[in-house]
Structures are given as C-alpha cells and as structure tokens.
Amino acid sequence: MNLGILDTVIFFGYFIGVVIFAITIAARSKTKSSSDYFLASKKLPWYAVGASFVASNISTEHFIGMVGWGYLYGMAVASWEWGNVATFTILIWIFLPFYMRGNVSTMPEFLEKRFNKLCRYMYAFVMIVGLVIAMLGGVLFAGAKAINVFFPEIDMWMGIIILAVAAGTYTIYGGLLSAGWADLLQYCLLMAGGIIVSIFGLYHADGLGQLISELPEKFIIFYPAKHEMIPWTGPVLGLFSVGIWYNCANQFMVQRCLGARSEWDARMGVVMAGFSKATLPFIVVVPGIIAFYLFQSQISDGDQAWPFMVKQFLPAGLVGLVLAGLASAIMSTLSAITNSSATIFTLDLYKSILRPHASDKELHLTGRISGVVVLLVGVAVALILSAFPGITVFRLIQTVFFYIAPPISACFIVGILWKRATSIAATLTTIIGFLVFLPTTVFVLFPKVPLLQPYDNFMNHTLIVFVMSAVFLVVVSLFTKPKSAEQLKGVIWTTSALGVAEGEKGRHRGFKSLGLWWFLMVVTIAGLYVFTYLKSSGTDWLEAEDVAYTTTENATVRVQPRSELANKEKFNLWTGSGQVLFTPTVSGDKITFKVPIGKKGNYKIDALVTAGADYGKFTVKINNAEILITRSITEVSSNGKYSVVKKESRFFDAKNILCHNGDNGVTDSIADAHVVQRISFGVFELNEETASISFIAEDVEDVNFLIGVDQFMLTRKKE
C-alpha cells in the first residue's frame, strides 16, 4: 500500500509528537522518587486512568486479529469486550478498595500480604516471563507486521526497532507518569481512528440495519459449548479465570489504577473503561462484518480485512490519522508492558530479594535499567518470531493468557473473599496448578475422556483448570493453619469496600456518584447483549461437516481441514473443523445434506461455499425442487460509493469468481487462490424435520472440479 506524502507526514509526525509530549510531562514533574516513577506520583485523574486502562489493552491484536475474527465469526467476538463488565465490577467493588487503601504497589506484593513471600516470588517470575516473552515480543512483531502492510519499504526488523525505541524512550525516562498521560493522547487517537473506519464502512454497507438483515448469522452472540473457537462457556464462564487475572490481578492493567490520585479516581477510571469497552465492538468487530459483506471475493485472509478497508474507503489525510491510531494502540501496549515488567522486577525481585535496603535513588535507576533490558529481550523475541512468518501471534497471546490465568485467579479471588484460605494451600495451588492441573487438562482429560472431547478448546481448558485450582485451594486450606485475624486485616473483603474511602466521603455524590455510573455501565452493556441476541435469535448457523449427507455412487467426499489450504497459501476463512469437499466424476453427481429443522415455518436458507480455479459449476435443489441461486456482488459507482447488487442464476460457477475480480470497480484484490462466497437460496416453507439440500455438478471436466461447502444458515422468518 503506497501512501501519499500527507499521510506519511501525519503518521511519522505522530511518533515524534507523542514522544516529545510524554517526555515533557515527565520533565515538568517536580517529584522524582521511585514511587513517583512506578506509580505516577499518584496524580492520575480518573479520565487518564480510564484512557490508559483501555489503551494498554488495545493493540494490533484488536485492529488486525479481532477484526479478522469478526470477519469469520461475527458479533460473538464482542464478548471479549462486553464480557469485561463482570470483571470490571469485581475490580471496582472487591479488589481496588484493598489495593488503594493498603498502598499496594504490585500484584505480587498483594499475594505476599495475603499469603507469603514464596507466592509473591513465583507470581512475579511468571508475570515477567509471560509479559516479556509472550506479549511484548508478540506485540512488537505484530505491530511491525502491520506497519509493513502500509509501508512495504520498512522491513520487519526496522519496524520492530522503531516501535521499541519510540515506546521505550518516554516509558523508560518518565515511568508511569509519562506512560499514563501519553496513553490519554493515544486513547483519543486509536478511538478516533477506529470510529472513522467504522463510519465509512457503515456508509458503504448502507448501515447497521442492512448488515443485520443481510447477515443475521454474523450477529449470533453465543455459540454452542462445542464451538471450536468461541464456545459460550469461554466468554461467559472463562471470565472467572482469565478475566479476574487479566483485569484484577495483572500488573500491566491494574498499575494504571494504582497511580490514581484517589480511590474514587481509580474506580471511576475503570467505569470509563467499561463504557469504552461497550463501544469497542463497533470499532474492532463490526468492520470485520462489513468487510465480509462487501469484499468476500477480494479477501482470502480475515486478518487483512481492516487494512484493506482503510485502503478502499479513506481519503488522503484520514489514512494517516487512522494509521496513527493503529500505532497508538501498539505504542500504549508496549509502554504498559515495559513499565509494569520493570516495576515487578525492581520491587518484587530486586528490592525484596537482592537489595532489601536499596536507596530510593537506586530503585529509580534499577527501574530504568530493567526497562531497557526488558525491551531488549522483547526485541530479541520479536526478531525470532519474524523468522517464522506463518506463526499466529494473536492466537499465541490469547493462549498464553488463558493458560497463565487459572491458578493465579483462584488464589486471588478465593484469597480475598475467604479468610480460611491458607498460605500453604495457595503455594501448592500455584505450583500444582501449572505443573499438574494444566498439562493433565490439556493432554489427558479433554483428548482422552469421551464426554469432554467435543469441548476440546483452550477456553474450556481454562475453566476446568480454574475449578480444579479453586477446589484444591479450599480442600488444602481446610487441613492447614490459616493466618490470624490480625494478620489478615486489610486483605479480606468486607462490606466496607462497597463504600468510599474515609477521606473521600461527601465529595462524590449525585452526578459524581460511582454507584450511578457503574449501574449505567452495566445496563448499557446488558442492553447491547440483549439487542444483539434478539436480532439473531431466529438464525441457526450449522457447520456442513456436522450435517448428515449422502452422495451419488461413484463420487467421493471428505472433510477437508483448514490447515490443508492454510499451509499452502494465505487462507483462513473456514470455520469449524474445515469444509465438506465433494468430488464428482460425471455431470449430475450430487451431494445431499439433510439439514435439521427445529420447528415448522418459513425459513431463509443460505450457504457458504468455496470458490477457486479448482472448483466447478453446480445447481442446487431444495426438497428436490430446483431453485435460483443468489450471489451478492459489490459494485462501485462513479462517485466512489460501494453498493451490493444481487445476481440470480440457475448456476453457481465457483471456478470463475476470482477471474472477474476487478470487473466491478473494486481495485487491488488481495485474494489468493481461494475465497469463500455466501450464496442464498430463498425462503421456503418447511414442514418436515429435515430439509434436503442437494448440490448437483454441471459440466464436469476430467480434472479440477470440486464442490466445497462450509456452512448453512437458516433464518426463521416472521409469519
């Protein structure tokens, strides 16, 4: 993608501007202690806390990876954002009061206060390794990869160095104060950039209502527990492990709150983050649905959807602004990881183990040196990842999070709510959780227990490990000696956490009421869940490989796994275990699916099929009646407006879909050898328990004739 001079100036001007801004903030600060460095002098107002909380979390994982998942799975991905309402509530009303009133500086420190030093050291080590290797290296690599899409002349290694130097300069110099205020600026940029792309996309797609009407299956919010990537058990039940760890016990998130100027500011900052999370699916999920609606035949990889839309829709100047928003998301995350890793090393390992009597100046210097080392290790990891271009960084990061979380979450939530939990139990839970429960769940229980095999998903793994860890912690605690009431003072939850701190009473009533804004946040997100669910409640999404089928005698059929094409080209568009691949031998050969019908009524039937040069022409019969096949084609008018036009035909010619890319005015197709196409069959009154859908081969040649079916979508129409 070749950018104009204006966009290039805006993009690189952002890098220079944000570094100067953040360093200036730190230089003007009058306080220079280690506490000021690690906790921003406890001067961050609620809006800076909330902005930093969101900006630290949002990265290329969202603008590239989550948009790509939105392209494939639709609004079910929104639970990654909306599901935070539960853990934000736990953070606001359970954890933050104790962190703030107890003057906690790190999450491992809290574990020492509640349990013992060994728990502190183990968690500190796990956090540093997980953050630096899995996340810092992954974000640097993914960020450089995203920059390379827009600036091909910037090699991967150059992009990694640019991002590391830019984020590291102000973070290492100014600590959390620089990072927090820089995040406020970057929050505004990344939200503005995301909103701009969504607005342009919805304009060309004729609005959200049109998307819901045309693609109801993309607005399914909860998939079955057996879903291969997003089972409802993951976002709903997994929040008790991953969510509690990530939002309530994760240094690189909670540190923003610890730097707040008051307890009210810390808690209200999380409320602000909650409202931002309510908005984020419209920025990082809906664009994926828009890209699917408009550009099915131009895209072979969902992760390319967001950059492709930026190129197609935005005029000069706005492209640079949007890319600055993307860079903001990357930089804020890098800054948060660097700062929090240096904080944990300095306060939890260096001071606690190596230099208990270290001076304030020494700790300040150690924080800066460790920040440099952390960043250098992250760069090394990113350079190693760049040598393996096929690696899926977003899945890697998510998997690491889901596997780190369960034992730690169990110790935090049980430890703060139950005074009987003991230090010995927490220590054993942490060790056995990682060394026994996790590998047993992943390699034994799910693969070998028939009852669990259909649910073999890393999200469901997390839930089981969390339950095992929590139960183990409770059982061992019952047989070991707890701490005294005096030792537990200030680290066990009581109803006092529901109120404001002693020094803040009477200052935040009425319009400033924390309870009022928390309630509005919960109602807003609950309303979005209900709205989305109602819009898709009449639609069933069926994987073709899960539907019974028969074929004519001499034809062959098999389930083709996703990896078979993904290993050969940039293709990641099938869901489920793959597609049903039918190979006819003569014209007239057919494959017939028996699609289950839950209730008598009128149904709109659609399917997702594969197109490419090795696929052929077919007709379709439903309940033995030949029907017209409707395919949507995107066209561009003379004034640059994209619109979807429906074309009806007796045949669907999968071989020639890619041949005609560009004929409709949509330029710069980035499709590889294969794409998927959504085709519609019309509305049918269905009485029987199953509907018969037959794909019949036409004009079969000796070679290169396949029919691939990935999904069926049935939408019940109102009487």
Here the CATH number for the domain that contains residue 609 is 2.60.120.260
- Please determine, for residue 267, whether its predicted confidence score (pLDDT) is greater than 60: yes
> pLDDT digits over 569-578, tens only?
878 888 888 9
- Place 32 in a pLDDT band, splitting at 50, 70 and 90: low
Q: State the pLDDT at residue 195.
A: 92
Q: Quote the crossing angle between the two packed helices 117-129 and 107-114, to the nearest 10°.
A: 160
Q: State the pLDDT at residue 611.
A: 92
Same domain, 215 and 282: yes
- Please determine, for residue 436, whether its predicted confidence score (pLDDT) is greater than 90: yes
- Place 640 in a pLDDT band, splitting at 50, 70 and 90: confident
428 is a domain residue: no
| pLDDT over 70, % of the chain | 93
168 near 377, Cβ under 8 Å?
A: no
Same domain, 552 and 589: yes
Read off the pLDDT of each residue in 188-200 and give the average, rounded to a whole number.
89
41 near 31, Cβ under 8 Å?
A: yes
- Please determine, for residue 567, whether its predicted confidence score (pLDDT) is greater than 90: no
In sequence order, which residues have a C-beta less than 8 Å from that of residue 77 and are 6 or more positions away? Answer: 66, 69, 70, 230, 281, 285, 288
Same domain, 119 and 169: yes
Q: Compare 197 and 41 and report the one with higher pLDDT.
A: 197
Beta bridge partners of 610: 676
Same domain, 279 and 309: yes
453 is a domain residue: no
- Please determine, for residue 592, whether its predicted confidence score (pLDDT) is greater than 90: yes
557 is a domain residue: yes
Cα–Cα distances in angstroms (integers) from residue 28 to residues 22, 24, 25, 39, 381, in the given order: 10, 6, 5, 16, 34
Q: State the pLDDT at residue 630.
A: 94
The domain of 60 spans 5-27+34-386+508-536
- Place 333 in a pLDDT band, splitting at 50, 70 and 90: confident
- Please determine, for residue 650, whether its predicted confidence score (pLDDT) is greater than 90: yes
Q: Mean pLDDT for the chain?
A: 86
> pLDDT digits over 604-620, tens only?
999 999 999 889 999 99
430 is a domain residue: no
CA distance 629 to 636: 23
- Please determine, for residue 670, whether its predicted confidence score (pLDDT) is greater than 60: yes
Write down the residue that tokens 């099938």 correspond to: 574
Q: State the pLDDT at residue 702.
A: 63
SS3 for 650-669 is CCEEHHHCHHHCCCCCCCCC
- Please determine, for residue 667, whether its predicted confidence score (pLDDT) is greater than 80: no
Same domain, 610 and 532: no
Q: State the pLDDT at residue 202.
A: 94
> Which pair of tokens denotes residue 528?
């979005």
Same domain, 550 and 516: no
CA distance 193 to 181: 19
> pLDDT digits over 74-85, tens only?
999 898 899 889
> pLDDT digits over 676-713, tens only?
999 999 999 888 788 899 999 998 876 678 999 999 99
654 is a domain residue: yes
Q: State the pLDDT at residue 93.
A: 92
Considering 536, 552, 572, which residue would you say is the last residue of a domain? 536
- Place 273 in a pLDDT band, splitting at 50, 70 and 90: very high
Same domain, 518 and 591: no
> pLDDT digits over 125-152, tens only?
988 888 887 778 888 887 887 787 777 7
- Place 388 in a pLDDT band, splitting at 50, 70 and 90: low
- Place 669 in a pLDDT band, splitting at 50, 70 and 90: confident
Q: State the pLDDT at residue 28.
A: 74
Here the CATH number for the domain that contains residue 154 is 1.20.1730.10
60 near 146, Cβ under 8 Å?
A: yes
- Spacing of C-alpha 76 from chain mean position: 11
SS3 content of the chain, % helix, strand, coil (to 5): 60, 15, 25
> pLDDT digits over 288-317, tens only?
999 999 998 888 888 888 888 888 888 888
Q: Quote the crossing angle between the two packed helices 514-536 and 263-279, to the nearest 10°.
A: 20
- Please determine, for residue 671, whether its predicted confidence score (pLDDT) is greater than 90: no
Q: State the pLDDT at residue 652.
A: 93
Q: State the pLDDT at residue 398.
A: 66
503 is a domain residue: no
Q: State the pLDDT at residue 558.
A: 93
Write down the residue that tokens 């977003």 correspond to: 394
- Place 37 in a pLDDT band, splitting at 50, 70 and 90: confident
Q: State the pLDDT at residue 663.
A: 55
How many domains does one find in the chain? Answer: 2
Candidates 107, 174, 128, 193; CA nearest to 335 is 174
Same domain, 520 and 605: no
Same domain, 134 and 222: yes
Q: State the pLDDT at residue 367.
A: 87
- Please determine, for residue 662, whether its predicted confidence score (pLDDT) is greater than 60: no
Q: How is residue 103 annotated by DSSP?
A: T
Q: Quote the crossing angle between the two packed helices 137-150 and 393-417, to the nearest 10°.
A: 140
CA trace torsion 706, 611, 603, 74 (10° rounding): 130
Same domain, 651 and 512: no
Q: State the pLDDT at residue 593.
A: 95
Read off the pLDDT of each residue in 582-600 and give the average, rounded to a whole number.
91
- Please determine, for residue 259, whether its predicted confidence score (pLDDT) is greater than 80: yes
647 is a domain residue: yes
Read off the pLDDT of each residue in 180-199 and give the average, rounded to a whole number.
86
408 is a domain residue: no
The per-residue b/e assignment along 617-630, b for 16 or more CB within 10 angstroms, e otherwise, is: bbbbbbeeeebebb
Beta bridge partners of 601: 686
Same domain, 697 and 606: yes
CA distance 612 to 230: 28
Considering 536, 552, 577, which residue would you say is the last residue of a domain? 536
pTM of the model: 0.89
Same domain, 356 and 313: yes
Considering 485, 518, 536, which residue would you say is the last residue of a domain? 536
